[in-house]
């Protein structure tokens, strides 16, 4: 009798776990890295990405605000959209987060207060935090000063 109860419990538990796994898969966003690799101008919501997926692939630029109506947030997004080719050349992925009441992994990790621009390196470390909007030119200059970026430029020159 114990074996029958154990078997029924195991069968029920296995089927409920399979159903939950299937529903979890349906709720998960598409692979952000693959989407970004198709189109480097894609802007992601922080809830759609896991920052660790971009380590050694891209440099996340994360724009935080308490509301998408924040004037600094709007200005920053405008500035980023003015020269997307410069950001794409430097492997930048743009991520936005305007939902402090529903904290994303990025918000929990970086703990912004109000508006904040964060530039991360390909190694996943924070390189820069700014409390006001920055132009693509300023962001590009900061990236170009990074040792890994200098190595990337050198490697591109060396390959014909």
Same structural domain, 58 and 118: yes
Listing DSSP states for 70-107 in one string gives: -HHHHHHHHHHHH-HHHHHHTTEEEEEE--TTS--HHH
Same structural domain, 11 and 47: no
Tokens 């300023």 — which residue? 138
Same structural domain, 103 and 38: yes
Same structural domain, 54 and 13: no
Residue 23 lies in domain: 1-29
- pLDDT tens, N- to C-terminus, the chain (160 residues): 544 444 433 343 344 444 443 434 344 456 999 999 999 999 999 999 999 999 999 999 999 999 999 999 999 999 999 999 999 999 999 999 999 999 999 999 999 999 999 999 999 999 999 999 999 999 999 999 999 998 988 888 887 7
Same structural domain, 17 and 58: no
Same structural domain, 83 and 68: yes
Q: Of 88, 106, 90, whose CA–CA distance to 149 is shortest?
A: 90
In the chain, the number of structural domains is 2
Tokens 């990074």 — which residue? 146
């Amino acid at each position: 009798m114990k074996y029958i109860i154990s078997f029924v419990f195991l069968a029920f538990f296995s089927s409920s776990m399979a159903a939950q796994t299937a529903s979890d898969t349906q709720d998960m966003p598409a692979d952000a890295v693959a989407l970004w690799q198709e189109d480097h101008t894609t802007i992601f919501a922080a809830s759609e990405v896991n920052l660790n997926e971009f380590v050694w692939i891209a440099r996340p630029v994360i724009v935080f605000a308490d509301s998408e109506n924040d004037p600094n947030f709007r200005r920053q997004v405008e500035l980023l959209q003015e020269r997307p080719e410069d950001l794409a050349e430097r492997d930048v992925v743009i991520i936005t987060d305007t939902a402090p009441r529903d904290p994303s992994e990025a918000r929990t990790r970086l703990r912004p207060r109000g508006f904040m621009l964060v530039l991360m390196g390909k190694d996943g470390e924070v390189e820069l935090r700014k409390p006001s909007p920055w132009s693509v030119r300023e962001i590009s200059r900061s990236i170009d000063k990074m040792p890994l970026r200098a190595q990337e430029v050198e490697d591109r020159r060396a390959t014909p």
